[in-house]
Amino acid sequence: MEIGFLGAAGTVTGSKFLIHNNNTRILVDCGMFQGLKELRLLNWSPFPFNPRDINAVVLTHAHLDHCGALPLLVKNGFQGPIYCTEPTLELTKIILMDSAKIQEEDAEYANKKGFSKHAPALALYTSEDVEKTLPLLRGIKLHETFPVGSLNIQFYGSGHILGAASALVSNGEKSVYFSGDLGRSNDPLMWPPEPPPECDFIVMESTYGNKDHSLTPSKDVLKQCILDVARSRGVLLIPSFAVGRAQNLIYEISELKRAGEVPQIPVFFNSPMGHEVSGLYEDHASFHRLGPGQFAELMSEIHSVKTAEDSKSLNKSQGPMIIIAASGMLTGGRVLHHLKAFGPDPRNMILLAGFQSVGTRGWSLMNGAKEIKVHGMYIDIGAQIVSSDSFSAHGDRTDLMNWLKASIKPPKKVFLVHGEINAAESLKERIKTDMACDVQIPEMNQIVSL
């Protein structure tokens, strides 16, 4: 059995792992690269394998850095099944279609305004490409064993977001466990990840391998931000992932309001995709902590921003108010128009509620940038910037170590992926010290024989 580390190696993005066993080839995740320009350019490069030769894709969850390149795979000849949990199946349909529409809109806007270096600017893939991808999705229950050629596969819950899973892949002699993205032990909505089953090798994420999250609870961070903008009569703009992060924010803001800890200022949720996603929490209640009907009640307490016209009107509104809008790292979407409208005013606040990849606008703001390039022009940033990792859906260093130590039997070797090199190196030393376990940090495109 061989593993090709074709993404998320030395970086947190573009998850893509090719397993080759006898005549069977499966891809665990097929994600888009995000962040730095040199990473984003990889999305336009040919796959380092023939997509027609892949028997199946095993998808751990529906974030774009794990599922976003699936339409490209299909566009280039892949025709096999894409296995995932039922919630991931539903989320992936929504997320891929939204991704295609955003790319099409961004390309159209760039061509209209003439700020792209390419003539014409093109979408990485289109809605038509997504339509050809969706019929390949296959829903699988947690712990159900399913075969792909010479391999058997099982999903285990990984927390993180709705439907997220880890994947155990076995050829009968050797087994490798792909953690996917691991959630937190104390996430407000998601259950904690299941401990690893007995396996020979673990491919493990290391996003926060070099640090623990702030001891300040996310609800306390939100409370202070809301109180501050209520006093300044400003706007609290929260760039947010539409899947997972937005739902947690809505839940905790609602909890604060119900407890009377913050004023009853309006909350606008500006993500049509996010609204679709929120409906799935009712359909898959076993995957999170809330009971039936509870999330629908939360959604009834906020203002939905559905049309582009409503979004534009919001930019002319006065505070105090809260706007939650995608994307979480300010890489695209409606939040960029809000950034242009509200970013310059010192009465306003921008809350960066989670990880910001190097090279993204969110990362620049987090590191003190006073001007940001949006749609080909620079805008001044006068708003207060608050950055907190308390909202993260990823386990921190302690969570990761506790998860690994909970293994039924320590693995022979751990491969650390999905982390910047400093985070992976730090976690490597911690694992070697605490568990006397062999650890490797694979390089991009490295092939390892198990």
φ, ψ of residue 33 to 5 degrees: the values are: -85, 135
pTM for the model: 0.89
Domain ranges of the chain: 2-211+393-449, 218-388
Confidence of residue 432 (pLDDT cuts 50, 70, 90): very high
Quick one: average pLDDT of 309-321? 94
Check: CB of residue 218 under 8 Å from CB of residue 428.
no
> Which of 178-182, 183-187, 274-278, 397-401 has the least mean pLDDT?
274-278
- Supply the mean pLDDT for the chain: 94
**pLDDT on residue 46:** 95
Four-point Cα dihedral 137, 327, 355, 375, nearest 10: 130
Quick one: average pLDDT of 145-150? 98
Q: Do domains 2-211+393-449 and 218-388 have the same CATH topology?
A: no
Four-point Cα dihedral 334, 339, 345, 346, nearest 10: 120
Confidence of residue 121 (pLDDT cuts 50, 70, 90): confident
**pLDDT on residue 29:** 98
**pLDDT on residue 282:** 87
Please report the sign of the dihedral spanned by the C-alpha atoms of residue 278, residue 284, residue 288, residue 290.
positive
327: preceding bond cis by omega (within 30 degrees): yes
Confidence of residue 325 (pLDDT cuts 50, 70, 90): very high
Quick one: average pLDDT of 165-189? 96
Check: CB of residue 354 under 8 Å from CB of residue 245.
yes
Quick: pLDDT tens for 242-285. 888 999 999 999 999 999 999 999 999 998 888 888 889 989 99
120: preceding bond cis by omega (within 30 degrees): yes
**pLDDT on residue 116:** 60
Domain covering 218-388 in this structure, CATH number: 3.40.50.10890
Quick: pLDDT tens for 357-415. 788 899 999 999 999 999 889 999 999 999 999 999 999 999 999 999 999 899 999 99
Quick: pLDDT tens for 283-299. 999 999 998 888 889 88
**pLDDT on residue 119:** 66
Quick: pLDDT tens for 45-100. 999 999 999 999 999 999 999 999 999 999 999 999 999 999 999 999 999 998 89
Pick the CATH number of 2-211+393-449 from 3.60.15.10, 3.40.30.10, 3.40.50.720, 3.30.300.340: 3.60.15.10
In this model, does residue 165 exceed pLDDT 90? yes
Q: Is 339 helix (H, G, I), strand (E, B) or coil?
A: helix
**pLDDT on residue 358:** 81
**pLDDT on residue 107:** 79
Alpha-carbon span 310 to 19, nearest angstrom:
46
**pLDDT on residue 115:** 63
Cβ burial 101-122 (10 Å sphere, 16+ → b, else e): bbbbebbeebeeeeebeeeebe
In this model, does residue 120 exceed pLDDT 80? no
Quick one: average pLDDT of 110-123? 72
Confidence of residue 117 (pLDDT cuts 50, 70, 90): low
Strands (E), 305-406: 321-325, 349-353, 371-374, 377-380, 384-388
**pLDDT on residue 118:** 65
